[in-house]
Amino acid sequence: MGRFDGGSNPPYPIIMGTARVRKILKILRRTYPGASWGKRKGRTTDPFQILILTILSAQTTDNAVDRVKERLFSEFPDPASLAAAQIGSIEEIVHSLGFFRAKARHIREAASMLQERFRGEVPSRMEELLQLPGVGRKTANIVLHHAFGRCEGIAVDTHVKRLAGRIGLSDSSSQSGIERDLMKLVPRRLWGDITDLLIAHGRRICTARQPRCPECPIAHLCRYYLDASDKVRSEE
């Protein structure tokens, strides 16, 4: 008997069923009530700030980004001032985030492109967002959701990638494959929240190195945990 919905033959279906995914999402939403962007307090609603902060967040903790944003936007509050800034003064502010040269260049050029190509406004279409330097599919999905409340896809970051693999939501190793699997599994109205929920869970419980499965509220639905406990059982 298969362990997953509709299961049976091969040991593990490629992807688990939607029923189990809904259970997981329900538990995560109850566990992390403040995780969704829409419910977060003190969040920026300015699309320009959301864009810049999301570009800067690559390979960095959000905590680190929080520490530089006040100074950054106090000196460069809009596309015009950022586009005109000295590259060195931007580098100095974002230095602690890592990749500081690339990030400084990206946000200045992005600001410049907003001015020249998009009338100083952050575009609200995927195709246009992807034209901005430093903006890939993940960043575009986040900006679309957080700034405009729209979801054309699901943002796959390092947490989403790790958890999707562990839980058994996707067996793909590429972000596009994972996004495609998640889009099939997750109801569209939750496409925006799923990323925030998996990130929250990835930070607190399902960490990269030593996942705290004993504290995990979805362990009984997780392939990684179930496989591990199978192994332990068979060794006893």
Partner DNA sequence: ATCCCGAGGG
Partner DNA sequence: CCCTCTGGAT
Any catalytic annotation for residue 41? no
DSSP conformation letters of 28-95: HHHH-TT-SGGG-TT----HHHHHHHHHHTTTS-HHHHHHHHHHHHHH--SHHHHHTS-HHHHHHHHG
Stretch that binds DNA, among 78-86, 113-121, 152-160, 220-228 (CB under 7 A): 152-160
Binds DNA by CB under 7 A, chosen from 137, 145, 201, 223: 137
Q: Write down the H helix ranges in the chain.
A: 18-31, 47-56, 62-75, 79-83, 87-94, 100-117, 126-129, 137-148, 158-167, 175-185, 191-204, 223-235
| 158 to 5, 91, 134, 191: CA distances (angstroms) | 27, 25, 17, 17
Near DNA in 44-103, by CB under 7 A: 54-55, 57-64, 95-102
Any catalytic annotation for residue 138? yes
Q: In the bound complex, what is the minimum distance in angstroms from residue 8's beta carbon to DNA?
A: 34
* # binding residues, DNA (CB under 7 A): 41
Binding of DNA at residue 199 (CB under 7 A)? yes
Binding of DNA at residue 136 (CB under 7 A)? yes
Closer to DNA by CB, 139 or 168: give it: 139
Which of 146, 174, 180 minimizes the C-alpha distance to 161?
Answer: 174
152 exposure class (CB count in 10 Å sphere: 0-12, 13-18, 19+) = middle
Binding of DNA at residue 208 (CB under 7 A)? yes
Q: In the bound complex, what is the minimum distance in angstroms from residue 180's beta carbon to DNA?
A: 15
Of residues 69, 103, 157, 181, which has the active-site annotation? 157
Site string for DNA, 12-51 (x = CB under 7 A): ----------------------------------------
Q: Name the residues that contact DNA, by CB under 7 A.
A: 54-55, 57-64, 95-102, 106, 132-140, 142, 155, 157-159, 162, 199, 202-203, 207-210
